[in-house]
Amino acid sequence: MASMDGSEPLPPPRPVWDDDAIDRLLARLLQAGVLLSTLLVLAGGIVFLLHHGRATPQYSHFTGEPAELSNVAGIIRSAFRGDGRGLIQLGLLVLVATPVLRVAGSLAAFVVLKDRTYMVLTSVVLLLLASSLMAVVF
């Protein structure tokens, strides 16, 4: 990359994300997250359809989901009970967590790069995500 004609040297190139070990690790984590989520939703779907497949669905009338399917503790409890709907919901939680994980990984990368501005910006995004997910935790 150095200039060969003796003119002013080029500024050092910006680190390329593609070559970053963190980024490759992140891609693999993302892939694992989507795969795990798909498997949970698929397994839960099969259990759900075996038990409720012949019933008439009630999607045209909004009643809202019960607490056991709308907060983390309840979802984990019903998933471990082997409930189909609980397993699907756990898969969806994993899915929601994948982009959050990606932001956390970017924060780690900016810490390694000692990039103050983007450490702050990424932390703000993480805090905003956390404030939304708090609604599901409690």
Partner 1 sequence: MTTLEVTVLIAAGAFLAGLLGALTGLGGGVVIVPLLTLVFGIDFRYAVGASLVSVIATSSGAAVAYVREGYTNVRLGMLLEVATTIGALFGATLAGWIAPSALAVVFGLVLLGSAWFAAQPRPERVVESPDPLATRLRLDGTYPSLQGEKHYHVQRVPLGFGIMAGAGALSGMLGIGSGALKVLAMDQAMCLPFKVSTTTSNFMIGVTAAASAGIYLARGYVDPGLAMPVVLGVLAGATLGARVLATTRSALLRVIFAIVVGVLGVEMIINGFHGRV
Contact residues toward partner 1 (CB under 8 A) are 14, 16-19, 23-24, 26-27, 30-31, 33-34, 37-38, 41-42, 44-45, 48-49, 52-57, 59-62, 64-66, 69-71, 84-86, 88-89, 92-93, 95-100, 102-103, 106, 109, 115, 117-118, 121-122, 124-125, 128-129, 131-136
The string of DSSP letters for the chain reads: ---SSSSPPPPPPPPPGGG-HHHHHHHHHHHHHHHHHHHHHHHHHHHHHHHHTTSPP-TTS-----GGGTSHHHHHHHHHTT-HHHHHHHHHHHHHHHHHHHHHHHHHHHHHTT-HHHHHHHHHHHHHHHHHHHHHH-
Q: How far is the CB of 1 from partner 1 (least distance, A)?
A: 10
Is the Cβ of residue 76 or residue 115 nearer to partner 1 in the bound state?
A: 115
Would you say 7 or 63 has its CB closer to partner 1? 63
Q: How far is the CB of 138 from partner 1 (least distance, A)?
A: 8
